[in-house]
Amino acid sequence: EAGVAQSPRYKIIEKRQSVAFWCNPISGHATLYWYQQILGQGPKLLIQFQNNGVVDDSQLPKDRFSAERLKGVDSTLKIQPAKLEDSAVYLCASSLQVRVEKLFFGSGTQLSVL
């Protein structure tokens, strides 16, 4: 079965620019997560979707970050405007349902903000 697909793999931008990341979860997976992983740290949950509805976005900096999951399949995470401290790997994960606990991760998008 195909895994979680993410693009782009790498992105370099200057501060105050905008950037978008795309994620396509495993087919049939209803729950989708975006995590931010700063170098040397564990992944930090930004937002969790169940189908196309938001389950939790309490850790999402909503003044600059936004995410959507139209049609309950693929998802886009956007940062506008980017700050230096946004440099991190952005990981997308999916699971079959909220109450099915095993998460499947994509390879991530490595963002460098200069």
Partner 1 sequence: SQQGEEDPQALSIQEGENATMNCSYKTSINNLQWYRQNSGRGLVHLILIRSNEREKHSGRLRVTLDTSKKSSSLLITASRAADTASYFCATDASGTYKYIFGTGTRLKVLA
Binding segment (CB under 8 A) for partner 1, from list 12-20, 34-42, 63-71, 73-81: 34-42
Taking CB under 8 A as the rule, does residue 101 contact partner 1? yes
**Site for partner 1 (CB under 8 A): which residue of 21, 35, 49, 65?**
35
Name the β-bridge partners of 96. Answer: none
- CA–CA separation, 19 vs 97, rounded Å? 29
Contacts of 40 (CB under 8 A, 6+ apart): none
- CA–CA separation, 24 vs 103, rounded Å? 14
| Residue 35 vs 65, nearer CB to partner 1 | 35
**Site for partner 1 (CB under 8 A): which residue of 21, 33, 34, 65?**
33
Smallest gap, in angstroms, from Cβ of residue 84 to partner 1?
21
Binding segment (CB under 8 A) for partner 1, from list 13-21, 60-68, 76-84, 92-100: 92-100
- CA–CA separation, 61 vs 113, rounded Å? 17
Smallest CA-to-CA distance from 93 within 43, 42, 39, 40 is with 43
Q: Where along the sequence are the contacts to partner 1 (CB under 8 A)?
A: 4, 33, 35, 41-45, 48, 55-56, 91, 93, 98-99, 101-108, 110
